[in-house]
């Protein structure tokens, strides 16, 4: 990680390898320092009530899901009636319900982990047992990709809608602002976390930015760098951490760090910081609806994305759709619970 010098908000050395001065206090930092820590925010009172008030959003369509929702399933926070695609279980919730799950979890003093899984996540989970094990620890897995929505429909267990991390980062930030809560922005290309912080603060005045961090490539293999990042997160105690490191790095990092902030929610958001701050233009809505966002991204970064989309993604998508359709035609399309028992 890049450091300016060890200091606290007054500019005094802390010895912890973390600079905690804010851009608001010293605008010059914005030009040269990739990490800026805003003043720490108070931890919300865990005693805040999570009960459903009149006029609250309806419970998750899972019926028994998650974090303070009415009818929470026995013994845990994970989806009670998942839709299985290949070896990954997806929670059939809408964007509104997903945000509600996070808010109610925070209100009850309980954290969690959201994965917005796309075709690449699903393919990787089938090829890499270590990644599949890590993803299985998430509290809420939602579908980010139209091929996954199509596959769920073909097999007779339709997921309600696509939920891209690049959409949820806006929706969750709005919800955090309404609650007076804080977010931490971790990862992304240099400068994008700080740029995203400024955009979100301007859009949602009640949002508290607990801090940003742009670690250098390979930091996850440096014990000292990871320890400094952990210390930073613990010191500012965010309610929600957006991690923009790409798959599978962001999932592995969240898995290793989430225990240091058990009251916080975590979500991997891939390239979303670049979208929010305007460094990269997102595909038009019509392309997103037709499942063609990958074509737009391929045109932007052909060298980096050609193998992922053309050699890996397209064949895997065809196989997934054929498997889903064939399974249903033979009367063995996966159900939400029985399939988990049969194929788990």
> Per mean pLDDT, which range of 37-51, 89-103, 147-161, 229-243 is the poorest?
37-51
Element (H, E) at 183: strand 182-187
- pLDDT at position 327, please? 78
DSSP state of 71: T
- pLDDT at position 196, please? 98
Tell me how many degrees the CA angle 21-23-24 measures, rounded to the nearest 5: 100
pTM beyond cutoff 0.85: no
pLDDT level of residue 78 (50, 70, 90 thresholds): low
The length of the chain is: 344
What are the residue boundaries of the structural domains of the chain, listed by start?
Answer: 81-344
- pLDDT at position 70, please? 39
Instruction: Give the rounded percent of residues in the chain with a pLDDT score beyond 90.
Output: 71
**What digits encode the pLDDT tens for the residues 171-224?**
999 999 999 999 999 999 999 999 999 999 999 999 999 999 999 999 999 999
- The rounded distance, in Å, linking the Cα atoms of 263 and 84 is 28
b/e 131-161 (16+ beta carbons within 10 angstroms → b) = bbebbeebbbbbbbbbbbbbbbebbebebbe
**What digits encode the pLDDT tens for the residues 146-176?**
999 999 999 999 999 999 999 999 999 999 9
Confidence check: pLDDT of 7 > 80: no
- CATH for the stretch 81-344: 3.40.50.2300
Confidence check: pLDDT of 27 > 80: no
Helix spans in 66-164 (H): 95-107, 119-127, 129-135, 146-154
DSSP state of 324: H
Q: What is the mean pLDDT of residues 47-59?
A: 34
- pLDDT at position 332, please? 52
Q: What is the mean pLDDT of residues 95-107?
A: 96
**What digits encode the pLDDT tens for the residues 300-314?**
999 999 999 999 999
Provide the mean pLDDT of the chain: 79
Q: What is the mean pLDDT of residues 18-30?
A: 34
Q: Which residue has the higher pLDDT, 27 or 121?
A: 121
Confidence check: pLDDT of 36 > 80: no
**What digits encode the pLDDT tens for the residues 112-149?**
999 999 999 999 999 999 999 999 999 999 999 999 99
Cis peptide before 248 (omega within 30 of 0): yes
Q: What is the mean pLDDT of residues 5-27?
A: 33
pLDDT level of residue 263 (50, 70, 90 thresholds): very high
Confidence check: pLDDT of 8 > 60: no
């Amino acid at each position: 990680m890049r450091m300016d010098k060890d200091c606290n908000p007054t500019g005094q050395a802390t010895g912890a390898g973390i600079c905690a001065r804010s851009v608001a206090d010293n605008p010059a930092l914005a030009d040269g320092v990739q990490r800026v820590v805003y003043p720490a925010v108070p931890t919300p009172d865990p005693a805040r009530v999570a009960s459903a008030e009149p006029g609250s959003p309806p419970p998750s369509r899972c019926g028994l899901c998650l974090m303070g929702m009415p009818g929470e399933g026995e013994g845990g926070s994970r989806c009670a009636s998942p839709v299985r695609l290949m070896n990954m279980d997806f929670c059939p919730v809408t964007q509104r319900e997903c945000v509600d799950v996070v808010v109610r979890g925070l209100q009850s003093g309980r954290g969690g982990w959201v994965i917005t899984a796309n075709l690449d996540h699903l393919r990787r989970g089938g090829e890499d047992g270590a990644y599949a094990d890590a993803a299985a620890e998430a509290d809420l897995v939602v579908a980010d990709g139209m091929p996954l929505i199509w596959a769920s429909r073909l097999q007779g267990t339709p997921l309600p809608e696509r939920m891209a991390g690049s959409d949820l980062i806006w929706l969750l930030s709005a919800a955090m602002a309404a609650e007076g809560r804080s977010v931490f922005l971790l990862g992304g290309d240099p400068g994008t976390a700080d740029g995203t912080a400024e955009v979100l603060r301007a859009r949602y005045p009640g949002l508290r930015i607990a801090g940003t961090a742009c670690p250098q490539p390979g930091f996850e293999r440096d014990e000292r760098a990871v320890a400094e990042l952990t210390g930073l997160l613990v010191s500012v105690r965010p309610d929600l951490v957006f991690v923009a490191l790409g798959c599978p790095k962001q999932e592995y990092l969240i898995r290793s760090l989430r225990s240091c902030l058990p009251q916080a929610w975590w979500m991997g958001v891939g390239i979303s910081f670049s979208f929010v701050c305007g460094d990269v233009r997102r595909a038009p809505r019509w392309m997103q609806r037709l499942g063609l966002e990958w074509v737009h991204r391929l045109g932007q970064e052909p060298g980096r994305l050609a193998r992922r989309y053309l050699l890996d993604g397209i064949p895997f998508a065809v196989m997934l759709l054929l498997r889903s359709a064939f399974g249903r035609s033979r009367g063995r399309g996966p159900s939400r619970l029985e399939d988990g028992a049969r194929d788990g």
